[in-house]
Structure 1
Amino acid sequence: MPSKKMLIADVLENLSKKNFEKFGMALMARGGDRKVAFSKVEDKNFMEVTNVLVSTFTEDDAPAVTSELLKSIKCFNEAKELDEQMAELFPKSSTRKTPAGTNASSNGDKAGSSSDTACSSEVHFVDKHQLELTERVCNIDSILDFLLKENVIQDAIYEKISCTPGNQGKTRNIYKLALKSGIDAKNIFLESLKKYEPFLVADLERKG
């Protein structure tokens, strides 16, 4: 069975030269407390960049970071392929232990399971991690469609958020315009994150 490191290497090896360069730039520009220096990425091949990812974020967390970065440069098919391989080969990496003591998939929880995560502390998950979610959410269009379908937002708000430039701007407006109605809206937003950003949610859950 291939290791997590080799799954990352395979994905990076198959990127076009242009997309590989974009990936390196996105890696250096990534927010968070673990930064990657320009010298670690400049003129490096796919295996060297894989080693940087694993040494910086650990082999357990590196696939989630890789998927996140692929989405940020619009390599959605490659990100989906990596996510699916991780789910198939390492299912425990995409599961979590709920406060009730039951295992639930981070990729397919229902609203009730979202409440478990949300209520595990006094501060709701999406409020606690607002800054990191704003910086790192990539599949924002799919999340907006989900919120519209679940009646968290209406057409006018959907259009207003959709017209906002950039993923960070859209996410800020979700917080500003869509989540003020209360806990139900936040739970549905969390459900959408688990559906479209499973590795990001899992990463934040591990950090506590």
Structure 2
Amino acid sequence: MASKKKIIVDSLENLSKENYAKFCMVLVDRKGERRVPQSKVEKQSRLEVTNVLVSTFTEADAPAVVSELLKYIVCPEEATTLVSVQHFVDKHLLQLIQRVTNIDVILDELLDQNVLLEETYEEIRQTPGKQNKMRKIYQLALRSGDRAKNIFMDLLRQKEPYLVADLLKDH
């Protein structure tokens, strides 16, 4: 399978000159805590913009950002290609936040498997509400990359098998 970075480059190279310019414009205008300045994309090649995307959003998160922007500029075909490379956890985050029930058991396992540090574990344990705990797990542990997400996914298969099966059938 091609790397996420390669898939992003290919998606950007498939854009017309006009759509690539629109993409760069909405990238710069995108709101959020991680933003891309105009100077980083102005007159840059698609490969250079891909490098900016990966350095700004991480290789794990960049495909989702690119997909979001492609949908915004009405390039659904390219956006669909990128969504398919998203990790299961990223793709189904909203459903996982709403539906995971065995959070404390999963949290214990994440600590045991060194995905979480003790301080982070305690911070998440003290968070009120299951949905807020899931959000914290994602923000503090799973954003570290695919290895953490893969461990989390294995735990979901063990502790929430019916939820995982339900989400997979919607693929």
TM-score grouping bracket, smaller chain normalisation:
0.5 to 0.7
Give 1 or 2: higher helix fraction. Answer: 2
**Distance change (3 Å), C-alpha of 1:83 and 1:5:** same
Residues 154-173 of structure 1: CA distance to partner in whole angstroms, max 9, x if unpaired?
xxxxxxxxxxxxxxxxxxxx
Task: Report the counterpart of residue 16 of structure 2 in structure 1.
Answer: 16
**Distance change (3 Å), C-alpha of 1:122 and 1:79:** same
Q: Is the 8 A contact 2:19 2:73 kept in 1?
A: yes
The one-letter amino acid of 2:92's match is S
- Structure 1 residues without counterparts, runs of 5 or longer: 88-92, 97-104, 129-193, 199-208
Where do residues 173-184 of structure 1 align in structure 2 (5 Å cutoff)?
none
Of all paired residues, the percent bearing the same amino acid is 47
- Structure 2 residues without counterparts, runs of 5 or longer: 104-127, 136-166
Match status 1:122 vs 2:129: yes
**Distance change (3 Å), C-alpha of 1:119 and 1:20:** farther
Residue in structure 2 matching 1:106, options 92, 104, 107: 92
Q: Deviation of residue 28 (structure 1)?
A: 0.3
Where do residues 26-37 of structure 1 align in structure 2 (5 Å cutoff)?
26-37=26-37
Where do residues 45-84 of structure 1 align in structure 2 (5 Å cutoff)?
45-84=45-84
**Distance change (3 Å), C-alpha of 1:11 and 1:119:** same
**Distance change (3 Å), C-alpha of 1:55 and 1:17:** same
Count of residue pairs the alignment pairs up: 111
TM-score (norm 2): 0.55
Q: Is the 8 A contact 2:70 2:79 kept in 1?
A: yes
Q: Is the 8 A contact 2:8 2:82 kept in 1?
A: yes
Task: Report the counterpart of residue 94 of structure 1 in structure 2.
Answer: 88
Task: Report the counterpart of residue 42 of structure 1 in structure 2.
Answer: 42
Residues 53-112 of structure 1: CA distance to partner in whole angstroms, max 9, x if unpaired?
00101111111111111111111111012223x15xxxxx1237xxxxxxxx729x6xxx
The one-letter amino acid of 1:122's match is G
Q: Which secondary structure does the structure 2 equivalent of 1:95 belong to?
A: helix
Where do residues 175-194 of structure 1 align in structure 2 (5 Å cutoff)?
none
Q: Is the 8 A contact 2:23 2:69 kept in 1?
A: yes
TM-score (norm 1): 0.46
- Alpha-carbon RMSD: 3.1
Distance 1:81 1:116 in 2: 27
